[in-house]
Amino acid sequence: MFELTGGRPLRGSLKVPGDKSISHRALLMGALAPGTSRITGLSTGQDVAHTAAAVHALGALLEGGDRITGGSGHLHPSNAPVDVGNSGTTMRLLSGICARFPWSTVLAGDASIARRPMDRVAIPLRLMGAAVEGEPGDGGMAGTFPPLTIAGGGLHGIDYRLPVASAQVKGAVLLAGLGADGETMVRESVLTRAHTEEMLTTFGADVEVSEDRLTTTVRPSELQPFEIDIPGDPSQAAFWAVAATLVPHSEVTIEPVYIGQARACFLDVLRRMGADIEVEMVSGTEARLHVRHTQLHGTDVGGSEIPGLVDEIPVLAVAAATADGVTTFRDAGELRVKESDRIATVTAELTALGAKVDPTGDGLVVTGAAPLSGGLVSSHGDHRLAMALAVAALVAEGTTRIEGWDAVATSYPGFEEDLRRLWE
C-alpha cells in the first residue's frame, strides 16, 4: 500500500532507470553473441531481472553486474521451466531465441502472464519450423496462452506481415530469423519501436531496414560481442513529465532518455495538449527533457501514433482528466491485453478518484477538469497503472491509498524515492 498526499510542487532534476525494452534486448543479444559483452545502465526492474535469470538458466554467464558471456557454445537447455515473472516482453522475445535451438524449453510466468496472448509469436515461429505449444485461455478463450513449450531447431526464413502492431513480435521473429536458413522478412503496417533492428545492426548481424522503416530483413549471421550503455527509459520519464505538467509551480529536468522511433510520441501528445516541455537533444536518439507546469487542453489520440505511446496511455489519461475539454484515445485495443486490461482498470481507478472516464471497445473518452479527490485505488498488479495513479494522487484533494503498490518494482523500484527527491 502506498499512501500519498499531493499538492507539493516537484522541482529539480532526476535520472530515470535504464530503458526496459533495450535492457531486455541487450541481455538476450549478449546471450547470443559468442564472447563477453558489457552492459551498463540496465533497467533496475524485476522484468529485466527475469530476463537476466532466464538467459542464465539457458547457459549465459553473468558476471560482475555488467558482463555477459554467451554464444551457442555456452547455451544449453534449462533443466526447469524458465520463469519470466510478469514480463510479456521476456516471454515473447525469448520465444524467438528458444525457437532456434534444437531442444525444448518451457516458458512460464505469473498469473497475469497466463492471460497474455501468445498466438502472435506462436504462429510465425511455427511457420518457421518450431513446435510451439501453449494452454487454452481462461474461460476457454481461443488461442495460445502461457506456459509455452517451444521445441526448436531447423528453422527456415519466412516473409511475414505482422497482423498486430507489436515490436515484441517483430523482435521474436527477427531473433529467430538470425538463426534460420535463408532470409526472414518482417513487414509492418505501422512503425513500432525499432530496438531489435537497431541493436542487431549495431552488434554485427546481417540486417537491412527499408527506407520507410516498415520492412526489416535479417539473414543468418553471428552477433559480435558488444558494449552498451543503456539510455534512460522514456516510458518512466512520462510519469514525471505528466506530474510536473500537472502540479502547479513544478519545474523538473529529466536526464537523457531514449527518444528514437516510436518511443516518445507521448511528448507530441502532451505538447499538443499545451504542455511546456523543452526537448534538449544530446545525441541522435537521446534527449534531456525540461518540463514546467501548465494547464492542458484535450486532444484526440489514435491511429499510427498508438504503438509509439501505448505504454503511456494510463498516465496520459491522468493528464486528460485534468485538462480542459475532452480527450479521446482510439485504436488502442492492445490495452486490453497488457499487464492488466488497461481500458477497464484505468476507467475504474480514475473514476474512483473522481475523473470522468468512459471506456470504448478500443480506447477511452476522458472528459477533463473534473476535480480529483483522494481515495482507495488498486494497481491490479499493473506497474504502469500504479505509477499513473500516484501521479493522479499528486493533484487530487486529500490522501490517496494505492493497493498493490509493490507492482511498481516490475519496472521502477525507485519511483517513490525519486518522488521524494523531487519534493525536497
Q: Is residue 188 part of the contact set for ligand S3P (CB under 6 A)? A: no
Dihedrals phi, psi of 242, to nearest 5 degrees: -70, -45
Q: How far is the CB of 15 from ligand S3P (least distance, A)?
A: 20
> Residues 23, 95, 168, 378: which binds ligand S3P (CB under 6 A)?
168
104-112, 161-169, 256-264, 266-274 -> range binding ligand S3P (CB under 6 A): 161-169
Q: Which of residues 248-307 bind ligand S3P (CB under 6 A)?
A: none
**Closer to ligand S3P by Cβ: residue 182 or 302:** 302
Count of CB atoms within 10 A of residue 419's CB? 21
Strands (E), 242-394: 251-258, 276-281, 286-292, 300-301, 326-329, 356-360, 363-367, 376-378
Catalytic residue among 311, 324, 341, 406: 311
Q: How far apart are CA 115 and CA 137, in angstroms?
A: 7
Going by their DSSP bridges, the two strands 376-378 and 399-403 should be labelled as: parallel
Count of CB atoms within 10 A of residue 187's CB? 14
Active site residue 311: yes
**Closer to ligand S3P by Cβ: residue 168 or 250:** 168
Backbone conformation region of residue 339, classed left if phi is above 0, alpha if psi is from -120 to 50, else beta: alpha
Q: Is residue 146 part of the contact set for ligand S3P (CB under 6 A)? A: no
Q: How far apart are CA 285 and CA 151, in angstroms?
A: 37
**Number of residues lying near ligand S3P (CB under 6 A):** 10
Q: How far apart are CA 193 and CA 196, in angstroms?
A: 8
**Closer to ligand S3P by Cβ: residue 54 or 310:** 310
65-73, 163-171, 212-220, 396-404 -> range binding ligand S3P (CB under 6 A): 163-171
Q: Is residue 46 part of the contact set for ligand S3P (CB under 6 A)? A: no
Q: How far apart are CA 96 and CA 291, in angstroms?
A: 39
Please report, as a single letter, which amino acid is at residue 420.
Answer: R
> Residues 50, 100, 193, 380: which binds ligand S3P (CB under 6 A)?
193
In this structure, what C-alpha cell is assigned to residue 164? 498486430
Q: How far apart are CA 250 and CA 422, in angstroms?
A: 9
152-160, 167-175, 223-231, 278-286 -> range binding ligand S3P (CB under 6 A): 167-175
Q: How far apart are CA 205 and CA 225, in angstroms?
A: 11
In this structure, what C-alpha cell is assigned to residue 137? 485461455
> Residues 94, 167, 241, 357: which binds ligand S3P (CB under 6 A)?
167
Q: Is residue 23 part of the contact set for ligand S3P (CB under 6 A)? A: no
Q: Is residue 171 part of the contact set for ligand S3P (CB under 6 A)? A: yes
Q: Which DSSP letter does residue 373 get? A: B
Q: Is residue 166 part of the contact set for ligand S3P (CB under 6 A)? A: yes
Site string for ligand S3P, 86-105 (x = CB under 6 A): ---x----------------
Task: Give the residue numbers marked as catalytic.
Answer: 311
Interface residues with ligand S3P (CB under 6 A) are: 21, 89, 166-168, 171, 193, 310-311, 334
